[in-house]
Structures are given as structure tokens and as C-alpha cells.
Structure 1
Amino acid sequence: MSQITLVLGSPPYGGQDVDTVLGIARAALEKGHPVTVVGSGDSTYGFLKGQHASGAPSAEKGFADLIA
């Protein structure tokens, strides 16, 4: 299988970029590909505990589920 590296540079609640990266990563993992997600700049806030936005899916939970 091929190694897949995804680079995320957008803030976690500034659009749908986090959802897109999580969806691609999940699909790749389901097909047996190893996946690395790299956060840059404001996107790193999506990896911190306690980051929430009202009415938006939790980036923290999404990445934690992906890691598990």
C-alpha cells in the first residue's frame, strides 16, 4: 500500500477543510493505506483538546477517532 500524507493549513472552524481531510484519511485507512496528517499554522488548533465551535463538528473528536 502507498503512504498518504495530507497537509492541513486551514483553521479548524474556518471552512470544511478539516472535514475533507478527515474523510480522505478515513477512506485511505479503510483501504489499508498508512496515513499521516500534518498540521501547519492555524490548523494546529484542531489538534488541541478543548477546541469547540458551536454548531460545528468537533475537530478534536474527529482527529482522536482517526488516531484510534
Structure 2
Amino acid sequence: MCISAMTFTLSGFDAWTFQIVFYGSLLVLEALHDDERLSTVLQPMDCTRQRAHALIRQPSCTLVGR
């Protein structure tokens, strides 16, 4: 399985770094802050900023086998 990632920041989330990670056919949004890592699966038409807000407000974890 090919894994690649794109890292970025969003204004209003200065303490967080975000990654969009491709795990095969899955698109995963990860939010990183110190030792904390939150993640959620994205759908193709999802708004990344809205999903980032939701992820930080209601943390979840998406486990993907490697």
C-alpha cells in the first residue's frame, strides 16, 4: 500500500499542524499538536476546514492497517 502525505496549517488553528494522508484509496485528515494525533477519514467533497473544526471539537481516531 502506498502512503503519502501533504502537511499544512490553517489560520485559527495556530497550535495545530494538519496532514492529508493517502492510505491506498482512503483520504485521511490528521491533526497534530505536541504528542496528540487526531484523525478522520475524508470524503472527496468534504471541506477540509470544516472537517478540521469538527475533528478538534469532537476528537476521533481512524485506525488504518499498514
Q: Which structure features the higher share of helix residues? A: 1
TM-score normalized with structure 2 length: 0.27
TM-score normalized with structure 1 length: 0.27
Q: Which structure features the higher share of strand residues? A: 2
Q: Which has the higher contact order (CA 8 A, sep 6+)?
A: 1
